[in-house]
């Protein structure tokens, strides 16, 4: 074996130039540092034997040594740092064993980037962090076992490791950076259940892992960043109860996804299941059910931990025909059912206190069932939007005192008002029958405000004992009796509100 014998604390770039004709280098025993770019671009270099005195391998020290096949670090107990791009693009390097480097805490950015022949990497028990793109594009790497000392894996650290099939994560792991395992197309399973300190999975951390079928999250997890699992092969997802934030498109474009559960602590999230054509079943455990963008749902289940249907909860779910809202729900926000074009009936829960605008394009909606509701006070403006051709009748529950403007589509024919109603604003409705069981409404004029011809007349039916008082009120407010017809509620409708 040829050898290089120098007596200094630093192996310099000049040494690299002087010894470029050698294939194998034995670094002198007293060397503490391999200087920046010392062996860079040396394509004749085949193997390097590092001394026990070595503390630092500087940035770009062996950059693009495309003939380098072997490095012996077995004696390097004092090694503390492998800096940026130290072995970048060493395309014939097959194995890295750092197990005896017991003082190595950090592997720098791009340290082994593009080492396309690297099949095996053994980390020391001292390692705490792996830098940005440190092992990116190591396309022959098949498995990784991280040491228990590891706390963070940097962005893009193993991106493009297309042969990577197995990863063993340590209990000590606190964060996985953005794009860390992006495009690891052979990876099939991720088990993070023992990572009791892991709080965040970074943006696009597993993006494009098309073979990834299973992920098991830890109980410590709080945040799943944007597109973290976009374009993977996941079949079922269970987001744990500790997670508070699931960012935009976190699970987007997963054609294989069939079932998902959202944990009880999720407070933020939007379009997280966009473009998931086979996601048919979704279970909410979160206090606020968020809009997920899962447009092909056929079944939605709400646990009794859910108290609010957030803005657009099941919006654009055009295949959803039935939804069961549990009695734990106290609030339904705006557009909760927007464009649910197959939904035929909504049964509102008994605890409902606040109701938003339900949405437009509810083309098959026939019935709104308020029969269990006792705490709702206000029906909001724009309660039902346009395109509800099959919704002909609405019966509001006892307890409602106010109806704001535009209650429910131009095809509405019958509106039943409870005994508690006090105020009705402009309905923007024509040719409608209103059945009013209230002793009095503060003003009748807003009901008939836009009517200017008899063909648009509203018919207000009241209980017999209130007939004359309503007619007197109509006269006092100078409302044309041909535009607001007041009569007695027919017998067949007297059963409403009998309780």
Specify the 3-state DSSP secondary structure of 474: helix
What is the structure's pLDDT at 499?
Answer: 58
Q: How confident is the model at residue 23, as a pLDDT?
A: 67
**Strand pairing class (200-201; 175-176):** parallel
Work out the number of other CB atoms within 10 angstroms of the CB of residue 356.
Answer: 17
Low-confidence ranges of the chain (pLDDT < 50): 1-22
Q: How large a percentage of the chain has pLDDT more than 70?
A: 95
Nearest to 300 by CA among 287, 272, 319: 319
Query: What separation in angstroms does the CA of 122 have from each of 94, 143, 147, 355?
Result: 12, 10, 9, 58
State residue 309's pLDDT score. Answer: 96
Write out the E strands in 380-438. Answer: 393-395, 402-403, 414-417, 423-424, 433-436
Helix, strand, or coil here: 469?
helix
Cβ–Cβ under 8 Å, residues 279 and 259: yes
- Residues 312 and 317: their CA atoms lie apart, in Å, by 10
Identify the pLDDT of residue 386.
Answer: 72
In Å, what is the CA distance from 225 to each residue of 187, 222, 289?
20, 10, 19
Percentages helix, strand, coil for the chain (3-state, rounded to 5) are 5, 20, 75
DSSP assignment of 12-79 equals: -HHHHHHTTT-SEEE--TT--EE-TTTTTT-TT--EEE--TT--EE-TTTTTT-TT--EEE-TT-TT-
């Amino acid at each position: 074996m040829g050898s290089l014998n120098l007596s200094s604390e630093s192996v310099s770039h000049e040494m690299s130039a002087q010894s470029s004709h050698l294939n194998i280098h034995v670094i002198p025993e007293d060397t503490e540092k391999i200087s920046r770019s010392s062996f860079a671009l040396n394509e004749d270099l085949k193997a390097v034997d590092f001394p026990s005195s070595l503390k630092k391998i500087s940035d770009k020290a062996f950059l693009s040594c495309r003939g380098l096949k072997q490095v012996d670090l077995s004696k390097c107990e004092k090694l503390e740092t492998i800096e940026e791009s130290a072995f970048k693009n060493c395309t014939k390097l097959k194995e890295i064993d750092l197990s005896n480097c017991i003082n190595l805490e950090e592997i720098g950015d791009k340290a082994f980037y593009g080492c396309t022949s690297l099949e095996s990497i053994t980390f020391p028990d001292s390692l705490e962090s792996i830098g940005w793109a440190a092992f990116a594009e190591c396309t022959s790497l098949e498995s990784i076992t991280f040491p228990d000392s590891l706390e963070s894996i940097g962005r893009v650290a193993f991106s493009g490791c297309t042969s990577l099939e197995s990863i063993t994560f340590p209990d000590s792991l606190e964060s996985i950076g953005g794009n860390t395992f992006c495009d690891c197309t052979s990876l099939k399973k991720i088990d993070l259940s023992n990572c009791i300190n892991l709080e965040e999975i970074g943006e696009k951390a597993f993006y494009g892992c098309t073979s990834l079928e299973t992920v098991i999250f830890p109980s410590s997890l709080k945040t799943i960043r944007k597109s973290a699992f976009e374009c993977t092969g996941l079949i079922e997802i269970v987001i744990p109860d500790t997670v508070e934030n699931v960012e935009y498109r976190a699970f987007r474009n997963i054609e294989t996804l069939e079932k998902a559960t959202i944990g009880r602590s999720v407070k933020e999230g939007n379009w997280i299941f966009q473009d998931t054509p086979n996601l048919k079943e979704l279970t909410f455990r979160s206090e606020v059910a968020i809009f997920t963008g899962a447009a092909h749902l056929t079944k939605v289940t709400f646990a009794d931990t859910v108290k609010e249907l957030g803005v657009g909860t099941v919006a654009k779910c055009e295949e959803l025909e039935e939804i069961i809202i549990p009695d734990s729900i106290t609030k339904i926000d705006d557009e909760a059912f927007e464009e649910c074009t197959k939904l035929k009936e909504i049964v509102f829960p008994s605890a409902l206190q606040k109701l938003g605008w339900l949405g437009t394009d509810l083309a098959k909606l026939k019935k709104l069932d308020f029969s269990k509701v006792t705490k709702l006070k206000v029906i909001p403006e724009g309660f039902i939007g346009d395109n509800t051709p099959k919704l002909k009748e609405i019966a509001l529950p006892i307890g409602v005192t106010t109806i704001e403007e535009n209650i429910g589509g131009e095809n509405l024919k019958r509106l039943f008002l409870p005994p508690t109603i006090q105020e009705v604003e402009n309905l923007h409705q024509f040719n409608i029958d209103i059945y009013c069981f209230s002793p009095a409404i503060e003003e009748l004029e807003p009901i008939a405000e836009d009517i200017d011809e008899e063909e648009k007349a509203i018919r207000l039916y009241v209980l017999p004992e209130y007939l004359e008082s309503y007619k007197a009120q109509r006269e006092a407010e100078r409302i044309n009796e041909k535009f607001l017809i007041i009569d007695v509620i027919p017998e067949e409708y007297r059963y409403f509100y009998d309780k």
